[in-house]
Amino acid sequence: MNDHYQVVVYGASGYTGRLVIEFLREYSIPFIAAGRSAQRIEEALRVIPGIENADYEIAEVEHSVPALTELFTGRKVICNTVGPFSRFGEATIEASLAAGCHYLDTTGEQNWMLAMQDKYHDLFESAGLVCSPATAYMFTVSDIAARVCLETPGVDSLDVRVFTHGTPTVASTQSVFDMCRNASYRLENHRLVPYEQTFEPHQLTLPVSGDIVMGTQWGGGSHVVYFRKDSRVRNCNMVLAMANQKIWKGCQELELAYKVQLQWLSDEQLFPVLDQLAGNLQSTMPPRENRHQNRFIDWCHGRGNNVSVSCHITGNNAYQITGLLQAYAAMRLLRDKPVVAGFRSIAEVLGHRDLVGALQAYGYVNMTEQRHC
């Protein structure tokens, strides 16, 4: 393969990989569509809108560090959508670093992110490369809201909230179920503090309507991972509620089943069981999102000793936003030398105002900011 193809979409046969490709084409970026089955990638690409004039090659690759390193060598940006990331993500990070590529992914798995941050931040930073997990709707949109709040001097505490109407894909459901194995954290006084449960129930009061729904901390979120390294932020927590209120209850039941029955199984025995349980909830690829149904509101309250601010982002089509964020980030990383490197939120790397501008340009979000005192 020649140098013409600087971006690799790994997991191109999946629901999210296809959306990343759709937006790479919009930005006229040539790419390699990679995954473990060339046949499945060909089938998946056939249904991508506009694919007929996209500039790409397909690569079948084994999921191993040597094979991925060979594929990535000579490229610049890796868009990784192969999850659950706690199972498959590290090999792709390692290969990206070895090949000298910037790394982006779509995880929302806090526990895995914490481990990868400890292990890879310095290595990527000294190589001048960016490693930005969670370059995805969850949790880049709410990260933008948090960073808008932090623009007000004195804000040191972030209450991040997410309410979404969505249908998780197969790997998304598996990824959520995988999180039941791990502790999740909030930030209190600059320190990581574990929750008692990974899917602990929290009430969420929705903006404007004041309706109360049930949510959980959903594994903790990426904000805590990134803000634990930001001296401005003393406290940070996140609560997420799905409009389908059966989902959080299902996650809680699974966490209980894991603690009572499954935690003693080896990974080889455990993953098929978790996948079967996830498959009971979602076993087929969901349809393309519909903006009249797949809506969300993400918001953050920022507080300090004598300041109070909030930022609300109302939008639609979370998976499409994920595709757009990945492609926009790839476009920027191809063209500009990033001002910061290492394991960092994509909003910190590219600027949160620029990211929201990219989303607004496609009509996906609207943002309001308010200073209360």
Ligand X SMILES: NC(=O)c1ccc[n+]([C@@H]2O[C@H](COP(=O)([O-])OP(=O)(O)OC[C@H]3O[C@@H](n4cnc5c(N)ncnc54)[C@H](OP(=O)(O)O)[C@@H]3O)[C@@H](O)[C@H]2O)c1
Residues that bind ligand X in the complex, under the rule CB under 6 A: 11, 13-17, 35-37, 40, 63, 81-85, 88, 106, 108, 136-138, 169-172, 175, 285, 318-319, 322
Minimal distance in Å, beta carbon 61 to ligand X? Answer: 8
* Nearer residue to ligand X within complex by CB, 247 or 309: 247
Minimal distance in Å, beta carbon 65 to ligand X? Answer: 13
Look at residue 119 and give its three-state secondary structure. Answer: helix
Strands 31-35 and 201-205, sheet pairing? unpaired
* Nearer residue to ligand X within complex by CB, 174 or 310: 174
Strands 157-164 and 235-242, sheet pairing? parallel
Write the DSSP assignment of 11-71 as a string of letters: TTTSHHHHHHHHHHHHTT--EEEEES-HHHHHHHHHTSTTGGG--EEEEE--SSHHHHHHH
- Segments of 75-180 assigned E as strands: 77-80, 102-105, 130-132, 157-164
* Nearer residue to ligand X within complex by CB, 84 or 338: 84
Minimal distance in Å, beta carbon 352 to ligand X? Answer: 17
* Nearer residue to ligand X within complex by CB, 148 or 318: 318
* Nearer residue to ligand X within complex by CB, 123 or 270: 270
* Nearer residue to ligand X within complex by CB, 84 or 157: 84
Minimal distance in Å, beta carbon 138 to ligand X? Answer: 3
For residue 146, what are its two tokens? 């948090």
- Residue number, nearest CB to ligand X: 83
Which helix (DSSP H) or strand (DSSP E) does residue 290 occupy?
none
Nearest to 231 by CA among 125, 341, 135, 150: 150
Q: Are the beta carbons of 310 and 369 closer than 8 angstroms?
A: yes
Minimal distance in Å, beta carbon 64 to ligand X? Answer: 10
Minimal distance in Å, beta carbon 89 to ligand X? Answer: 9
Q: Cα–Cα distance between 172 and 349 in angstroms, integer?
A: 25
